[in-house]
């Protein structure tokens, strides 16, 4: 039995292994939400209470340091944001806001945890997928650390401010480490 | 060699399983032993299984050749190594070696775990839950550590960055130091952070 949203969710890697019934199951935790340009989804330090899947539009993930906005990445349709919050309840590590008009599906953590406590396959397929993402990030970060430790008898620090790439390097929770320009 | 429930039940990876589930789990894991200095796996090897330490001591290293490696940690009973293999199909992130004469470990193979997972076996979900919470804990701790490293590094003290990077590598792979771990150039501040990371993970899995 195919669900109407299966065409959309089926294209997203995290949900692609869910059957119609399992997606139905998961949908009790999912609600459509909308934001207009500049509206914030959440701010760094907020409790991690949901994950988001972008249906249309774009958002930016950023940090604010002494009034300066440091953009880490932008995300568009099909992208997932904040999925790590579904695994633990720690505060958000960055802020997110809509760039233009934004439509998303919001996966509520409390509802998701209900499915998880009941050992639903739908929840655990998603948990497995998120775990795979976490492993990828751990490996990327590992690669970065290795390049610091791999010195030929000479100590090197992690990139000092003037060596920073123009885009934040891969790794860390967000897939982008929060390095920033300047001090 | 088949594992006893009494050997499996104290292991954090299997926290939350019922006695009946342990009886089934026994059929899907192997008990393996390694002698002193025997290698469990090397960095870069294909990864096919996860190991949980029952007794003895193992060392974790970056680098593949003895003598040209960096020790990250020494682990004792309950610790797990190579568990990313249960989730993805990539290569080993570190080298692991037995440090005692009769090191005993439980081996859970990736293909067995996959099969049980796709068959919707409930205890597999419990194992995945423990695994997922552990992985996220490491990612968060490493993230914090790397931000700290970047903040503390400046061109005139490159060793500070290196020290944090080494501590981050340990944390990344989830290895705390036990009381016999030789500190080298790691200071107590690093150890405390690693301890906190592990402590948090264990508190979380107790729900």
Query: In this predicted model, what pLDDT tens digit does every residue of B3-34 receive, in sequence order?
Result: 999 999 999 999 999 999 999 999 999 999 99
Chain A nearest-CA distance from B22, in A, is 17
Q: Which of residues 12-31 of B touch A (CB under 8 A)?
A: none
| Structure token digits, residue B61 | 């290293």
- Residues of chain A in contact with residue B160, where contact means CB-CB under 8 angstroms, are 157
User: What is the distance of C-alpha A116 from the center of its chain?
Assistant: 19
Please tell me the least confidently modeled range out of A45-59, A68-82, B28-42: A68-82
Q: Which SS3 state, helix, strand or coil, does residue B182 take?
A: coil
Does residue B56 come out as left (phi exceeding 0), alpha (psi in the -120 to 50 range) or beta? left
Determine the straight-line distance between the first and last CA of chain B, rounded to whole angstroms. 33
SS3 of A108, please?
strand
**How many CB atoms within 10 Å of residue A148?**
23
Cβ <8 Å between B159 and A142? no
Asked if the interface predicted TM-score (ipTM) of this complex is over 0.85, the answer is: no
Q: Give the mean model confidence (pLDDT) for residues A135-163.
A: 53
Instruction: Name which residue leads in pLDDT, A169 or B139.
Output: B139
Q: Do B132 and A87 touch (CB under 8 A)?
A: yes
Residues in A closer than 8 angstroms to B125, CB to CB, are: 119, 124, 127
Phi-psi region of B54 (alpha: psi -120 to 50; beta: other; left: phi over 0): alpha
- Chain B nearest-CA distance from A81, in A, is 15
Closest CA in chain B for residue A122: B120
| Alpha-carbon distances, residue A133 vs A13, B8, B180 (angstroms) | 11, 28, 34
- In this predicted structure, what is the pLDDT of residue B164? 59
- The answer to whether the CB atoms of B129 and A127 lie below 8 A apart is yes
What are the structure tokens assigned to B12, written together? Answer: 């954090």
């Amino acid at each position: 039995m195919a669900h109407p949203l299966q065409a959309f969710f089926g294209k997203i890697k995290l949900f692609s292994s869910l059957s119609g019934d399992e997606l139905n199951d998961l949908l009790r935790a999912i609600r459509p939400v909308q934001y207009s340009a500049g509206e914030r989804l959440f701010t760094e330090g907020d409790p991690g209470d949901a994950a988001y899947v972008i249906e249309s539009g774009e958002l930016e993930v950023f940090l604010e340091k002494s009034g300066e906005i440091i953009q880490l990445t932008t995300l568009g349709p099909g992208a997932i944001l904040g999925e790590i919050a579904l695994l633990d309840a720690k505060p958000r590590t960055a802020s997110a806001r809509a760039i233009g008009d934004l439509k998303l599906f919001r996966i509520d953590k409390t509802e998701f945890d209900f499915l998880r406590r009941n050992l639903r396959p739908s929840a655990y397929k998603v948990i497995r997928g998120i775990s795979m993402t976490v492993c990828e990030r751990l490996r990327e970060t590992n690669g970065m650390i290795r390049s610091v430790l791999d010195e030929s008898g000479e100590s090197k620090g992690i990139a000092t401010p003037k060596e920073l790439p123009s885009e934040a390097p891969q790794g860390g929770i967000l897939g982008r480490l929060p390095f920033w320009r300047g001090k | 060699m088949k594992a006893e429930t009494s050997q499996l039940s104290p292991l954090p990876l299997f926290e939350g399983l019922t006695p009946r589930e342990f009886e089934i789990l026994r059929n899907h894991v192997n008990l393996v032993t390694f002698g002193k200095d025997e290698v469990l796996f090397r960095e870069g090897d294909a990864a096919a299984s996860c190991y949980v330490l029952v007794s003895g001591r193992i060392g974790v290293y970056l680098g593949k050749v003895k003598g040209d490696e960096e020790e990250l940690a020494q682990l004792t009973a309950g610790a797990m190594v190579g568990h990313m293999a249960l989730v993805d199909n990539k290569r080993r992130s570190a080298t692991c070696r037995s440090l005692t004469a009769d090191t005993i470990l439980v081996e859970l193979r990736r293909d067995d775990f996959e099969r049980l997972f796709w068959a919707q076996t409930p205890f597999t979900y419990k194992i995945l839950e423990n695994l997922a919470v552990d992985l996220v804990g490491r990612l968060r701790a490493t993230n914090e550590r790397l931000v700290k490293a970047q903040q503390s590094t400046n061109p005139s003290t490159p060793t500070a960055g290196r020290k944090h990077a080494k501590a981050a590598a340990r944390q990344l792979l989830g290895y705390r130091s036990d009381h016999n771990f030789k500190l080298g150039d790691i200071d107590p501040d690093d150890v405390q952070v690693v301890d906190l990371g592990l402590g948090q993970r264990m508190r979380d899995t107790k729900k």
